[in-house]
Structure 1
Amino acid sequence: PIMLPDVTDASDGVAADPQLQHFIEIESQKQRFQQLVHQMTEVCWEKCMDKPGPKLDSKTEACFVNCVERFIDTSQFILNRLEQTQRGRGSFSETMSD
C-alpha cells in the first residue's frame, strides 16, 4: 500500500506541510488583495461617479485617481501604525518576561 505523508501535526491540528502552508498563505494574500480592490472600487465609485456614461470626463477620472491614491496611502499608513503598535507590544512583553 502507498503511504501518504501526514500533513497535520497531531499535537495542534495545524498543517505541517511547508508547501501546503505556503499555498494557503499565498491564497489568503490573494483573497485579502481582492477584498481591498473591491472595497476601494466601491468607495471611489460612490465618491466620484455622478452618472455613468460612455466614457469618463477628466474631472471624474482625476477624482478616481486621487481617491485610489488616498485609499492606498491611508491603507499603508494604517498597516505601518499596526506594525509599530505590535512591535511596541512585543518589546513591552519581552521586557516584562525578563
Structure 2
Amino acid sequence: MDGQGATDDPRLQQFIEMESQKHRFQQLVHQMTEVCWEKCMDKPGPKLDSRTETCFSNCVERFIDTSQFILNRLEQTQKSKGSFSENMLD
C-alpha cells in the first residue's frame, strides 16, 4: 500500500458526489410531491380535474422558485462570509 486512502481516488470522489446529488434530488422531489399533494389533492379520483391540475402545476413551479431562491441566497451568504474572512486576514 502506498498510504493513500480510497478517498484520494478522483473517480471515487466523483462517483460519491454524483450519488450524493442524486440522493438530494430524490429527497427534493419527495418533499415537493408531499407538499403539493397535501395542498392540492382534495379527494383522489380516477383523473385530475382542471383545478387540481392547475394547483399542482403552480405548486411545483413555486416550490422550484423557492428552492432556487434559497440556494442563491445561501451562495451569496457563503460568498460574503468568505470575502469577510479574507478581509479580516489582510
Q: Provide TM-score, normalisation by structure 1.
A: 0.87
- Matching residue of 1:31: 23
Q: CA RMSD in A?
A: 1.5
Runs of 4+ aligned residues of structure 1 deviating over 4 Å after TM superposition are none
CA, structure 1 residues 50+6, in 2 after alignment: closer, same or farther (shift >3 Å)? farther
CA distance in 2, matches of 1:7, 1:82: 34
- Structure 1 residue 16: Cα displacement: 0.4
Unpaired runs of at least 5, structure 1: 9-13
Which of the two has higher C-alpha Rg?
1
Show the 5 A alignment for 1:55-66. 55-66=47-58
**Greater fraction of residues in helix:** 2
> Secondary structure, in 3 states, of the residue corresponding to 1:15?
helix
Q: Provide TM-score, normalisation by structure 2.
A: 0.95
Show the 5 A alignment for 1:11-30. 15-30=7-22
Percent of paired sites with the same residue: 79
Unpaired runs of at least 5, structure 2: none
How many residues of Structure 1 are paired with residues of Structure 2 in the alignment? Answer: 90
CA distance in 2, matches of 1:78, 1:88: 15
Q: 1 or 2 for the larger relative contact order (CA 8 Å, sep ≥6)?
A: 2
